[in-house]
Structures are given as structure tokens and as C-alpha cells.
């Protein structure tokens, strides 16, 4: 299984519009982060986790010509705002399967009502197949089992995903003991680390490192990063040897 980090930034990306912060002015490509998204590939399948406002740019950069489905962690714009840009895949392949909680689909119906129109639908709009998922029921995509794992983004229940020995979380702040059991035994873990200081709805770097210690994976990658975390190269030197800062275009094998 191959994993490509399409975007590793927080909701504003890096650089932030109008910011004079040193990280936003960095010339290191690893400090330039699009909104968070992940492409997972195995055999002849390609699945996306989250479809944010940089989706078009990310697909062009990766020269991606196929998309078998999209898993959504939650409904916030930095994870869903690119949905209209699935149109080229829809025109070539037909309906695109989406996997999300019922609450997320309710939000999308309001924000992208023209996509879900049933009468007199504009012919240029894409059509998606809704697959409603929840934390209690694993599902199958491309012959692999996906186990949804509920975490809290402040007080909002959102989903992470486990496929084989790979676990992915973004926008996490807390997790219950019951859901934590689903994570244990993971060999590769991706977890959000917004900045060094505490935040009300995201893990800080110290909190993320504490979570990684509990799981003790072979490798862990940090994502959903803001400019306030610091320069990629400087921060990574301070991390444990099995922990890395993900960056846009990074590809790893599971």
C-alpha cells in the first residue's frame, strides 16, 4: 500500500495570506503546505481521505487520472470544499463513492445542494454515491477493510481510519479508551500536531508525541500543521527517531 500526503497544512495552509511570519516566508518547499488530504493506493485502487479546497491543484500535481472513492473525516471546509472539482473524474468514471457520517452528508446537502438535486439537475454537476458510515461498523473498499475510529475535534465527533496496520487522524483533540483500543497495534500512524502551544480543538506537538508513545508505532508522521509549529527542518531534528513531520508530496510505503 502506498500513501501520498497531498496536503499537510491546517485550514489556512502555509503560507497564510498576508502573513509576514518567518515560516510563511520560508523558501523550503517542505514549509509550504496545502490543506490536509491523503491519497492511498494499492493494487489498481486509489482512494482519497478528505477533499479540501486545494483538491484540484493536488490532483494535477500528482497527475492522478483515477479516483475510486473519497473518505471524509468531517464536514469542515478545509476537508470538503473541493467537492465540485471531482467533476472530471465523474465525467470519465461515473458516480464517485463518498464515505462519511450521516451528519456530514446533511451538511453537504445544504452547502452543495445543486449536486444533490433530484429534479432538473444541472447536467454539468457531478453525482456522488452516498455511503453512510459510523464508528461501530467497518466497511470494505477495494477488497480492504476500513475501520472508522471516532475522535473528538473539540466537542465534534469526527472519524479517523485504520486500514491494515495504517492509522490516520486529523483534527483530533481527544479519544475515548474504547476507540483507542482500535488504534493499538498500528505500525504506521499519522496524527495531527498543530503547534507547540495547546489548542482547544487540535493536538499540540507535545500532546501528539504523548499519543504516539501510547501507540508505539514503528513510524509516526505529523500532519495538519500550522506555521506556528516552526520550520520543518528545525522541528524534525528535535523529534524521536521514529517520528517525522510529513510534507506535501511525501510518499511512504506501508
CATH number, position 107: 3.60.15.10
Domain that holds residue 159: 2-251
* Residue 228 burial class via C-beta count within 10 angstroms: exposed 0-12, middle 13-18, buried 19 and up: middle
Which residues on neighbouring strands pair with residue 35, listed in sequence order? Answer: 9
pLDDT band at 119 (very low <50, low <70, confident <90, very high): confident
At which residue does the C-alpha cell 515560516 appear?
Answer: 23
**Whether pLDDT at 118 is above 90:** no
Question: From the centroid of its chain, how far is CA 60?
Answer: 18
Mean pLDDT of 197-222: 98
User: Per the omega criterion (within 30 degrees of 0), is the bond before 11 cis?
Assistant: no
Domain count, the chain: 1
Stated pTM of the model: 0.97
Amino acid at each position: 500500500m502506498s500513501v501520498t500526503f497531498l496536503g499537510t497544512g491546517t485550514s489556512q495552509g502555509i503560507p497564510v495570506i498576508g502573513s509576514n511570519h518567518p515560516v510563511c516566508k520560508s523558501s523550503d518547499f517542505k514549509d509550504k503546505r496545502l490543506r490536509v488530504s491523503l491519497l492511498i493506493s494499492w493494487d489498481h485502487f486509489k482512494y482519497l481521505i478528505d477533499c479540501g479546497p486545494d483538491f484540484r491543484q493536488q490532483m494535477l500535481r500528482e497527475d492522478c487520472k483515477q479516483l475510486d472513492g473519497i473518505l471524509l473525516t468531517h464536514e469542515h471546509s478545509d476537508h470538503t470544499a473541493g467537492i465540485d472539482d471531482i467533476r472530471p473524474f465523474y465525467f470519465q468514471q461515473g458516480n464517485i463513492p463518498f464515505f462519511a457520517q450521516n451528519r456530514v452528508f446533511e451538511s453537504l446537502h445544504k452547502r452543495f445542494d445543486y449536486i444533490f438535486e433530484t429534479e432538473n439537475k444541472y447536467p454539468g454537476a457531478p453525482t456522488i454515491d452516498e455511503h453512510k458510515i459510523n464508528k461501530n461498523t467497518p466497511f470494505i473498499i477495494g477488497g480492504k477493510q476500513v475501520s472508522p475510529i471516532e475522535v473528538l475535534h473539540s466537542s465534534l465527533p469526527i472519524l479517523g481510519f485504520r486500514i491494515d496496520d495504517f492509522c490516520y487522524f486529523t483534527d483530533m483533540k481527544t479519544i475515548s479508551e474504547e476507540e483507542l483500543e482500535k488504534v493499538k497495534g498500528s505500525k504506521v500512524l499519522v496524527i495531527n500536531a498543530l503547534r507547540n502551544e495547546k489548542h482547544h480543538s487540535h493536538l499540540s506537538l507535545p500532546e501528539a508525541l504523548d499519543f504516539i508513545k501510547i501507540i508505539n508505532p514503528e513510524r509516526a508522521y505529523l500532519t495538519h500543521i500550522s506555521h506556528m509549529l516552526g520550520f520543518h527542518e528545525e522541528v524534525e531534528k528535535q523529534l524521536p527517531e521514529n517520528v517525522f513531520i510529513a510534507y506535501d508530496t511525501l510518499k511512504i510505503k506501508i
